[in-house]
Structures are given as structure tokens and as C-alpha cells.
Amino acid sequence: MTTLAIHNARIIDPELNLDGIVDIVLVDGRIARVGPNEAEMVIDAERIDATGLVVSAGFVDLHCHLREPGFEYKETIATGTAAAARGGFTTVCAMPNTSPPMDSQASIESLLRQIEQSAQVRVLPIGCITVGRQGDELAPAGELVDSGVVALSDDGDAVADAALMQAALSYSSLFNLPVSQHAEDPSLVSDGQMHEGWVSTRLGLRGRPSSAEEIFVARDIALAELTGGHLHIAHVSTAGSVALIAAAKARGVNVTAEVTPHHLTLTHELVAFDGNYKDIRYDASAKVNPPLRVDSDLEALGIGIRDGIIDAIATDHAPHSLSDKEIEFDLAAPGISMLETAFALTMTRVHDGTFPLGTLIRSLTSAPVRAWDLDKRTGLSGLGTLAPGAPADLVIFDPDMEWTVDVGDFRSKGKNTPLEGRTLKGKVLVTISEGEIMHADSLVAGRLRLTDRNEGI
């Protein structure tokens, strides 16, 4: 029996209505006990003194790109999941825009074999909505479900054909499977490079208007209401979308949604300016689809998390090589490497009072699990919580520790981030997956007598 005892931590689990200084004991990859002085009752256990630190369930990411198979020069399952562990994520859902795409039983089974061999944390595959992600015909949802997918998505591209999207929602409803839509009308964002606003005008770049997202959000909510299918809106970025989702939920439509850390905290001005408005730049590290928006959108998105309109915070981790980004802005690939900075960046909204720490933890743990019924799909009762019997997935963090982003320290192959050199407040120190320590920050490794098994990956 392997036993790990964590004592003197502030344990926060919104699902269990728990916020207090207690101990937690892990036995053979499961949470055994949570309560006062529990660690003192354990003999012959590895011990972590978490005095002054916070412990929560491991973070759950509904949206990341691990790039394997086909784009291993950008990321691999090994490097991506090492980055996830460093960021506090113990479960990640991998998008299917790989090569080959995840649109068949054979491709999913091959991916699962690779996950088993090299994943550092739990990886749950997402299958394609359409064959080859081409938007022409539905992929075999039943076959994909049998293979183990937890959702369907053509992320990176919207399912533009309304009849096909209706069919996808109808078909997936037979399996209670979420259909995650990249909601941007292709006819309105064609050749668009960033948010359509004064910055895009100043830079002479074609814009991607907020209406492109909101039109598809409204359309797909209507289709979900018609079919009863489970619609999930990926990377919500506009105030209008938040209002549409809120109204749909009030009517009982089966819709869930996510927001990324960057859409919660960064604006389109970052593309052109860095702390001043004198020097103009074209910063492709801040290029992402949907694009970074404006302050009023950030305010609405923060309220959406606070009020539970938006279910989850998801990274949309999109690693790219330097050659994908350090080129002309209109040719650069969209996306930000986000797994390792997601927690600290989102803590910005806790420190500015937008929502409390418990709400952030819920949006990173139990809320995404509930949104997609991941506990039922995986058979892992208690996933996303610290309930006794749940998987021993935990993160230990300091919500007030300041640190400076240095891409040279990233576990991910993707060094593409507009946060390089920025000081953030809130740091993941230890990540435990199924009872095994997968990351221990060098700042605390000596104190905890632990080492980082991912060193050198």
C-alpha cells in the first residue's frame, strides 16, 4: 500500500462545501480521508507539510491540443501532459485536429495506446463531428463513443452547415454526448486576423467581428433546443454570447460553455501595444481564434464565471513552433501555449475581485466534470472533487506567490505566449495524479523532500 499524507493545508472543495485547515490522506491512488488531524493517524507515509498553502482537486481541462499524432514538432502527448502537470491539470481532454484526425475507431484506439505509453496525466480523447473535420458528412458518433471519446468537436473550424449541425446534435443526443462548437461564422471571419475594432483598423488588418461568434451561438442554441442535443460552446469570447447562453439556460436548453484564461484577462490591444501606446507592433504571440476582445467583453465573461453562466475555464492550449509564429502576422498560426500559465493568469480575476477563489476552483474542477458528465463517462466516481474514494488527483498552490513567466522553463514544446516576462500572482507548486507526484516546483521540492519526475522532458 502506498500512502501520502498532506497536513496543515487549506483545503478548498466547493462541491463538498469545504474550505478549512484540515489534513488529507491518499492511499493507493485514491483519497482515503479528509479531516482534522488525519495525517497524525497515519504511520509509514510520505508526508507533505502544506502549511500556508491551498489544496484543491486537480484541474480538469475540457479543451487542449496535444498535436500528436501528426504534429509532434509542435507538441507530443509526453510534453503536453508534462506541461499540464506543471500547470496543475490532472485531466485533459484532447482535441481531434491531429493527422490523421480522430474520426474513426482505429484512430482513437491508436491514440489511446500512445496515451497509455507516454501520458503524465489523464488524457480523454475528443472525436470529430465530421469526417476529416471537413464539414461535409458526420463522423460515426456511435463508433467513436464505443472507442472512448468524451465529446465531439471540429475545433479550429466551425460546423458551418446548419443542417449538418442539427443532424450532429440529433445523433449525439442518442449517446448524451456533448457537441463542442467553434462558434465563428466562416463567411464573416474569412481572412480575419484579429478582433474587428480600432486596433485592427490602426494595424490595417482584416477583423473578426463579435457578430461572427454570436450568430453561430444563437443558431446552435436554436438547434440544440430543437433536437434536445447537448451543445457546448467552446472558448466564448463576447458579451453577446454570454447573454445568449444565459437566456438559453434559463429556458432549459441543454447548453454548456467554457472560457479561456486569455479571453478572461487579455484584450486586443496586446497585439499592437506592450505597456505603452507609442510603439506599434504586430505581436503574433497574441493572435488567437476567436480573437482577444475588449474590456466590456472581459467584464461580461467574468460575470459569466461568477454567476455560473459559463461552466468551465478551459485552456485551449495551442502550442506552435517558432516558425509558426515568427512570420508575417497574417500568415502566423493562431493560438497560445496556455497549460502552464492558465491558473496564474486566471488568478488575476480573483485578485481584482471579479470572483472568489472558490469559484475559480469550481470552474477548474467539479464544474467541467459535471458539464460533460466526465465522472460517469470514465467510471471515476468523485472525479473533480476531494471526496473519499475519489481519484487522488490534487494540486497544491500558493495563491499569492509572484513569479515571472519564462518560456525557457516551459515543459511544453510550445513557447508561444504573449506573457513572456510578465509577473503573475498565484503558483502551482505540487501536482498529484492518481496518488503519484507528477510535478514539484523547485521552490518547494527541498522543503517537501520531493523531486519533479518531469525534469528534463
Q: Rounded CA gap, 198 and 204, in Å?
A: 10
Report CA dihedral (371, 372, 377, 379) to the nearest 10 degrees: -30
Task: State the number of CA atoms in the 13 A half-sphere of 445 facing the CB.
Answer: 12
Do 37 and 23 contact (CB within 8 A), yes or no? yes
**Residue 191 is among the residues annotated as catalytic for this protein:** no
Alpha helices in 334-392 (DSSP H): 342-351, 357-364, 366-372, 374-378
- Strand order through the sheet with 312-313: 152-153, 179-181, 231-233, 255-259, 312-313
C-alpha cell at 90: 490532472
Break the chain down into helix, strand, coil percent, rounded to 5.
Answer: 35, 25, 40
Residue with cell 501532459: 81
The answer to whether the CB of 287 falls within 8 A of the CB of 271 is: yes
* Residue among 38, 43, 41 nearest 8 (CA): 38
Q: How far is CA 230 from CA 160, 170, 181, 222, 305, in A?
A: 17, 9, 11, 12, 20
Of 316, 324, 375, 441, which one is the catalytic site residue? Answer: 316
User: What are the CA-CA distances from residue 254 to residues 189, 225, 240 (Å)?
Assistant: 27, 7, 19
Beta strands in 110-242 (DSSP E): 122-125, 152-153, 179-181, 194-195, 207-208, 231-233
Phi, psi dihedral angles at 304 (to 5 degrees): -60, -40
By C-alpha distance, which of 48, 84, 47 is closest to 444? Answer: 48
- Quote the distance between the C-alpha of residue 13 and its chain's center: 19
Cis-peptide, bond into residue 290, ω within 30° of zero: yes
- Catalytically annotated residues: 316
